[in-house]
Every structure is written in structure tokens, then in C-alpha cells.
Amino acid sequence: MLPRPIARYLPILDWGRQYNRTAFSNDLIAAVIVTIMLVPQSLAYALLAGLPPEAGIYASIVPIVLYAIFGTSRALAVGPVAVVSLMTAAAIGNVAESGTMGYAMAALTLAALSGAILLAMGFLRLGFLANFLSHPVIAGFITASGILIAASQLGHILGIKTHGHTLPELLESLLHGLDQINIYTVMLGAGATAFLFWVRKGLKPLLRGIGVSPKMADVATKAGPVAAVVATTLAVWGFNLAESGVKIVGDVPQSLPPLTMPDFSPDLISALFVPALLISIIGFVESISVAQTLAAKKRQRITPDQELIGLGAANIGAAFTGGFPVTGGFSRSVVNFDAGAETPAAGAFTAVGLAIAAVALTPLVYFLPKATLAATIIVAVLSLVDLGILKRAWGYSKKDFMAVATTIALTLGFGVEIGVSAGVILSILLYLYKTSRPHIAEVGLVEGTQHFRNIKRHAVRTDASLLTIRIDESLYFANARYLEDHLYNRVLQDCPVRNVVLMFSAVNEVDMSALESLEAINTRLGEIGIKLHLSEVKGPVMDRLKRSHFLDDLTGEVFLSQYDAMAALTDILPAKDSAPIVTAA
């Protein structure tokens, strides 16, 4: 048996021990369905990343096997995804020209850096860092990225060359190239796009209406892109449209993923480190969101730190086998889950299917028009676009709306790197702003109970000599002064106040800055004859306070409950026999 620390990093040992014939059968069926879907999708995402089409297949073979060994999700399908492919193109486009050996080498290095970052985060147990990206900001970034991706593929649909990584640049290049539109490409691209949209919405109801079983109808719907690939490839071949200017995939090497070596030169690493960090964070957030959603449906458990290791291993695998950065994809994972995948072995079987395709089927895509791949991408990414998030955010929180709108605007106007960087910064600033101005309520006793509520919202009993303040946030450097100012302003308005009680029921932490503020409040109130008390202090907070001199210098007392404080400090309630507490709550 392997030592426990090693076994912890190999989830395959967990599900592998219980693997049986039923799981094998379900995994194999899921793998066939996902493989059919992934062949055109992998080619399309390589195109989006600015790489040869075979790179998409290579990036879907070894990475998914490595994830099956190290990952904890039973249904997550790892490989190229739209947003990460776009970020890859934006990052590499700054250091090399598309189509060159240096470009492909930079993609390998980017994958290796991303893998190393993810592995380091996993071993250091830094999965919690993804929580600093707020959902509204992520939604805004993904929406903007979907628009950018769709815009970047319009050139392939129209048969004109486009450039740029921002929406203004892409639209400008489209306008300048309108006189070069290829009518045959437009017919193929627009036809494929319309067909794929119809497949998504109309094929399954049609098949169910004529008596096809739900499972077969679902498989047929998922295989829609394959039908588009076959039809348009035959059209280009049969009518010799390549000679009429239709751009095709051309020769795709008929081989398994090659062994490749990234370029670890200091200059290239320096240029790609920040993009690799952003790709790692976005990829992890997207992956863990999908993994946790699918796991919850089967009451399974996902370990975020181990997921980092699984994704890190997958990216390292991509770097050394001719790929580019990968992560867990939403659409392929949902398909994998719906197809009945029981374990990560389904991913390994998918890798075998893709390997067979790489060896045996690549000659068949020689005449595949790039317009069809662009249509596949457009249909896939438009499902990511959720402009409704703006309306929902505006109605719920103007601050969240500003964060979403700013992220969308910056991503569209200045590119994905600035957009995601702004998203991270906005998420942190939004958190700091919200917690720097915590909700502070003056509370009183609800008649006939021992509960205390906001005097502005409820009919409560109060005493002129007692001021009770409830702080609905942990106290730290960003909000300590805010509490001081609020308290001083309130006390100066009311001369009869002789006792102030800070109700700590919602305070989970008091840092050094906040401790100094509490000491200052205690001193200043004492100078004007007002005693400071605490109530409902949580155990860990009390333990921390005991390690300072604050409790020794406190002019008042610490009460177990706010009811005890009111009973001891006013005549409203009968005084209790129990003494104030200064031990852990």
C-alpha cells in the first residue's frame, strides 16, 4: 500500500478500487459520445488559439489522461476551451507571429508555465484564492470574451483576413476587408452556423416527435457539429471550392501526439508569466465551477486543491505533447455527465478515441473549410454570452453592476488580459469597499423576547443611558477607523449615554489595527465618563483579545449575551445573579 500522503494525491486509487463492469460500460458509451463531439471542437479551438488544427487534438489526449489520474471530478472533461484558447492567442500574439515555429513553441511554454503555477497552488493549498474573483465579475468577463471570440471568427465566416484582440480592432479589420468577401465561404459558414443553431434548439424535439428514443435523440444532437463537418467537407471536395478561395484545413499530420520541449528561455518566461497566471486562475475558476455543479448532482465531493494538481498535470502534459493550455470545459463536461460517465476513466477512453482519430481520420478533414470550424466556435461561445447579468446586477446592487459593466467594457475595449486583470482587481476592491463600510446597527430589545434588533426596523425597548451597537462584519484594518468615527459621532449626539456595548455576535476576527481602534475607543470614551462593554464575543475572538492588554484596560465588562448586558446596566430588566464573563464565549 502507498503511504497516505502519496495516496492523497492519486484519486485514481480511490475510484479505481471500486471499478466494475457496469462503470466500464457507462464510461465507454460516454467516451464515444464525447469523442464524436470533441473532434471538430478540438480542431476549432486550435484555430481560435492561432495554432495548427492538430494541436487541438493533441491537447485533448494526454491532458485528459493525466487529469483522470490526478483529478477528483468523476465527470469533468479536460481539454481546450474557448476562453482559454482566446487568452492563449492574445498572450502568444504579443511574443511571436501566428503560423511560425516560435508561436507554437510559445504555446508549449505557456502551457508549461500554467501547469507549474497550478501545481504550485495545489501543493500550497491555495485553491481558496479563486474565491477572490466575484461571480458578477467572472460573468462579465466570460460574456465579453464570448463576444470577442464570436467577433474574431466572423472573418473566417466571411472569408476575409482579420486581426486584433479587441472589439474595435476586430470590427475595423472586418470593415476594411468587406471588399474581399468570398461568397462561397459565406454560404458555407452562414449555412453551418444556421444549421448548428437549429440542431441545438430544434433537432431533439423533432427526433422525439417521430418516436426516436431520448438517448438516441440526445446523441444525434451532440453529433450535430460532426454532420456540419461532413456536409461542408463534401461540398468543398465535390465542387472544388478550395480553388475558388475557400480556406480549408489542409494537411493534418497523421500521428499520435509528439514529444515536444517548451522553450524555457528567461525572456520568454518573463513575457508569458503574467498571462499564464491569468489563464491558470480563469481556467481553474471555470473548471471548479463545472466540477462542483456536476458533483453535487450525484452527491460526490470535489477537492479544490487536488483539482489544481489535476489541472496542473494536464497542462504539463499538453506542454510536452504538442498542445496548449487546457482546462475543464463546460459543454464537454455536461455532455460527459449526461452520457452517463461514472468515473474519470471515461476521459481516458475519450483520449483513446481521439488518438485513433489522430492516426486514422485526419486525412478526411483535408477539405474541411475553416468557416465550419468558425461556425462551431460561434455557436458554442454565444451560449456563454449573458448580457442579462447587467440588468440583474443593476436591479440588485449598483456596485456589482459597476464591476460587471467595467469588466465587460475593459475586456472588449482593451483585450482579455486587461479585462481579467481588471476583474481580479475589481473583485478585491469591491470586497474591500463593502467590508470597509460595514453595516452598523443600533439595537434594542424586542418586547417579550431576549432578541435585539435594529431600532430603525423594529419596535424595541431602549434606555437613554445605554447605547448598544451591533457590528455586522469582522473588524480589520480597512474598517476599524469607520467604526471609530461612527461611534464618536453617535455618542456626541446623546449626552445621557453612560454605557456603550459593542455587540460582537457577527464579528469573527479582530486584527491588530482593529484592536488598536478598540483601545482608542475605550480610552476616549473613558475620558468623557462613558464605559465600554462587549457582548456575545465568539470564543476565537475572545482568545485573541486575551493575548493583549485590552481586556485588562477595558473600562466596562464582557457579557455572555446582550440581554445580560441590558439587565446589568439598566433598570429596564431585573438584574441577574450571574456575573459578567471574561472567558471564551
Please give the average per-residue pLDDT across 529-537, as a whole number. Answer: 95
Separation between Cα atoms, residue 37 and residue 553, nearest integer Å: 69
pLDDT greater than 70 at residue 368: yes
Separation between Cα atoms, residue 277 and residue 268, nearest integer Å: 14
Separation between Cα atoms, residue 102 and residue 86, nearest integer Å: 18
The confidence score (pLDDT) of residue 61 equals 95
pLDDT greater than 50 at residue 583: no
Cα 155 to chain center, whole Å? Answer: 29
Closest to 186 (Cα-Cα) out of 214, 222, 160, 161 = 160
Cell 511574443 -> residue: 95
The confidence score (pLDDT) of residue 421 equals 80
The confidence score (pLDDT) of residue 487 equals 92
Coarse DSSP helix, strand, coil percentages of the chain, rounded to the nearest 5 percent: 65, 5, 30
C-alpha grid cell, residue 247: 480556406
Cα 68 to chain center, whole Å? Answer: 21
Separation between Cα atoms, residue 428 and residue 473, nearest integer Å: 16
Instruction: Show Cβ contacts of residue 313 under 8 Å, excluding neighbours closer than 6 positions.
Output: 66, 67, 69, 70, 115, 119
The confidence score (pLDDT) of residue 418 equals 86
C-alpha grid cell, residue 568: 446589568
Kindly indicate the confidence band of residue 585, based on its pLDDT and cuts at 50, 70 and 90. Answer: very low
Domains of the chain by range and CATH? Answer: 19-429 (no CATH), 440-569 (3.30.750.24)
The confidence score (pLDDT) of residue 584 equals 42
Measured between alpha carbons, how far is residue 158 from residues 19, 104, 175, 440 in Å? 49, 26, 11, 58
Separation between Cα atoms, residue 179 and residue 438, nearest integer Å: 58
Kindly indicate the confidence band of residue 4, based on its pLDDT and cuts at 50, 70 and 90. Answer: low
Higher per-residue pLDDT: 318 or 582: 318
Cell 520568454 -> residue: 268
**Cβ 420 vs Cβ 141: under 8 Å:** yes
- DSSP 3-state of 452: strand
Kindly indicate the confidence band of residue 580, based on its pLDDT and cuts at 50, 70 and 90. Answer: low
The confidence score (pLDDT) of residue 218 equals 75
Please give the average per-residue pLDDT across 112-124, as a whole number. Answer: 95
- Rounded to the nearest 10°, the torsion over CA 426, 432, 433, 439 is 140
pLDDT greater than 80 at residue 114: yes
Separation between Cα atoms, residue 278 and residue 482, nearest integer Å: 34
pLDDT greater than 60 at residue 576: no
Per the rule left: phi > 0, alpha: psi between -120 and 50, beta: everything else, 99 is left
pLDDT greater than 60 at residue 324: yes
pLDDT digits 0-9 by tens, 35-64:
887 888 899 899 899 999 999 999 999 999
pLDDT greater than 90 at residue 141: no
pLDDT digits 0-9 by tens, 370-418:
999 999 889 888 887 888 889 998 999 888 888 889 989 999 999 887 8
- DSSP 3-state of 18: coil
pLDDT greater than 60 at residue 80: yes
Kindly indicate the confidence band of residue 554, based on its pLDDT and cuts at 50, 70 and 90. Answer: very high
Instruction: Show Cβ contacts of residue 104 under 8 Å, excluding neighbours closer than 6 positions.
Output: 51, 52, 55, 322
Please give the average per-residue pLDDT across 512-531, as a whole number. Answer: 94
Please give the average per-residue pLDDT across 175-192, as a whole number. Answer: 93
Within a 13 Å sphere around the CA of 348, how many CA atoms are in the beta-carbon half? 15
Kindly indicate the confidence band of residue 7, based on its pLDDT and cuts at 50, 70 and 90. Answer: low
pLDDT greater than 80 at residue 248: yes
pLDDT greater than 70 at residue 6: no
Closest to 203 (Cα-Cα) out of 190, 188, 216, 191 = 216
C-alpha grid cell, residue 248: 480549408
Please give the average per-residue pLDDT across 178-198, as a whole number. Answer: 93
Cα 504 to chain center, whole Å? Answer: 33
Cell 493575548 -> residue: 547
The confidence score (pLDDT) of residue 445 equals 93
Q: Write the DSSP string, 88-141.
A: HHHHHTTTS-TTSHHHHHHHHHHHHHHHHHHHHHHHTT-GGGGGGS-HHHHHHH
Closest to 246 (Cα-Cα) out of 193, 194, 161, 188 = 188
C-alpha grid cell, residue 551: 481586556
The confidence score (pLDDT) of residue 5 equals 61
Separation between Cα atoms, residue 556 and residue 532, nearest integer Å: 5
* 179-193, 266-280, 381-395, 461-475: least confident range: 381-395
* 273-277, 491-495, 573-577: least confident range: 573-577
- DSSP 3-state of 469: strand
C-alpha grid cell, residue 490: 453617535
**Alpha-helical segments (H) within 298-397:** 304-319, 330-338, 345-360, 370-382, 388-396
The confidence score (pLDDT) of residue 581 equals 54
The confidence score (pLDDT) of residue 207 equals 86
pLDDT greater than 70 at residue 3: no
The confidence score (pLDDT) of residue 431 equals 80
246 — phi, psi (to 5°)? -75, 125
